Amino acid sequence: MSLSVKELLSIGERRLVDAGIADATLDSRLLYCFMRNIDRSRLILMYQEIVEDRLCDEYFRLVDDRASGRPLQYITGIQEFMGLEFDVNENVLIPRQDTETMVEDVISVIKDGMLRGDKLENVRRREWDILDLCTGSGAIGISLAKLLTGVKTSVTCSDVSKAALEVARKNAEKLGVHKNIKFAEGDMFAPFVGGFKRKKFDMIVSNPPYIESGVIPTLQTEVKDHEPMSALDGGADGLDFYRIISRDAGNCLRKNGILFLEIGCDQGNAVKEILAKAGGYTDVRCLKDLAGRDRIIYAMLGETGK
């Protein structure tokens, strides 16, 4: 074929554009970097090099895979989150930037007792026992274990999916925090309540499934055909998991325990109402993501925590 890197990339880009891929230019380059195991600054210096035919074929296979709508992150097997590199596969949701905002809020509350510039009452603790409920790749819990330096923290990551927990475990090991994290398999609070299981946490943080079932067929191919449905589908009105959490979190939170929930951008009022109905939550706030949309619910359980 005798194509230069530059020529190869423009063919790749064209194929992705024709397939309707939004970030065609970037993805055509990232796929090449992935194939050669180089970073983008190195790529720029290679534009004039001639690419072996074998590598051209391999590159086109990757491009075709992406053109079919498979997310780039499932092809490369990685996604960066909070400056850390997480492994991902089809068994876990790809960590999103919106969720980083929640992790930053959690860190600010735990380290400084502050939330978006407000000093919070009754949040100071010497130790933090944190549950990342519906952990998926482990992005939230593992980032917290890694970034809450100087704070005595223990983190539990739970998920109903064994395959997801395998990914989370691998990520904890890769990022060197496997000794500080426990993993629990089971549906929502099942691993922590009933029988002799009476585990209490100081904070529960969760990005549960929250898309309305009826909206799922309208999502991009990347999401609806590739990401795990069980991580997305929040039931008819998207709120099923918030109902379960607001009903049951009290059994697993200590006094003045904190809930941090990621929500869909139009669910702020509904989730606040669900928490108000459940009762016991003394301070409930809805916080925005970087795009200025409602994205996070903060709630303190108050005296009814155990």
Residue with smaller CB distance to ligand GLN, 155 or 231? 231
What residue ranges bind ligand GLN (CB under 6 A)?
93, 96, 207-211, 223, 232
What Cα–Cα distance (Å) separates residue 248 from each residue in 32, 190, 201, 212?
Answer: 47, 10, 13, 22
| 145 SS3 class | helix
- Minimum CB–partner distance for residue 217 and ligand GLN (Å): 13
- Smaller CB separation from ligand GLN, 12 or 136: 136
Nearer to ligand GLN, 13 or 212 (CB): 212
Strand-by-strand arrangement of the 294-300 sheet: 181-185, 152-159, 127-133, 201-206, 253-262, 294-300, 283-288
Q: For residues 111 and 132, give the distance between their C-alpha atoms in angstroms, rounded to a whole number.
A: 18
154 with 199: CB under 8 angstroms?
no
User: Which residue's Cβ lies closest to ligand GLN?
Assistant: 210
| Closest distance of CB 93 from ligand GLN, Å | 6
Task: Show the 3-state SS of 244-260.
Answer: HHHHHHHHCEEEEEEEE
Which residue's CB is nearer to ligand GLN, number 27 or number 233?
Answer: 233
Give the H/E segment covering residue 166.
helix 162-174
CB of 140 to ligand GLN, least distance (A): 11
CB nearer to ligand GLN: give 51 or 82.
82
- In whole angstroms, the minimum distance from the beta carbon of 222 to ligand GLN comes to 9
Contacts of 195 (CB under 8 A, 6+ apart): none
**Smallest gap, in angstroms, from Cβ of residue 166 to ligand GLN?**
20
How is residue 280 annotated by DSSP? -
